Amino acid sequence: MLLTFLLLASAAARELSPTPVMKLRGGGKNEIILGVSAATAIANGALVAVGKSDTANLLGFGLVEVIDDPRYGIAVLGWGMGKLAALMAGGDAIPAYLKLNLIPMALWLVTNAINGAAMKEYVMPLVFGALYSWVVFG
């Protein structure tokens, strides 16, 4: 999962020349970034919700401490579904969603700092926050 994320994120970092399909969908970079974010949240949320926290931890290479509680999984799954809804709406819905999603990314970082989280716990919110900012602020 992380390897897929890194490959897609590096592909998103390149300047894309839109193909006809991408032109119809409204771009490319924005959809890739939000798509990877949605897939990550949906997969991890669903795994935790059904009691497979160990698998969710493996998929994330231990970069995020997965809370072994189905309620946490359901919340993350819901967050992922919101991302999927913005992705399906396309167009201006994607940067609008990512702009709003900078708030939980910032809160995640602040919470990590307050609780003295290990440095690895900063990777996901920093990477996704940077990618979201790239879309929002160009």
Written as six digits, the tokens of 94 are 């994607």
Q: What is the pLDDT of residue 62?
A: 81
Average pLDDT in the chain: 84
Q: What is the spatial distance between Cα 129 and Cα 106, in angstroms, rounded to a whole number? A: 8
What is the structure's pLDDT at 71? Answer: 96
How many Cα atoms are found within 13 Å in the side-chain-facing hemisphere of 114? 6
Contacts of 134 (CB under 8 A, 6+ apart): 29, 33
Single pTM value for the model: 0.75
pLDDT confidence tier of residue 27, bands split at 50, 70 and 90:
low
The pLDDT confidence band at residue 59, using thresholds 50, 70 and 90, is: confident
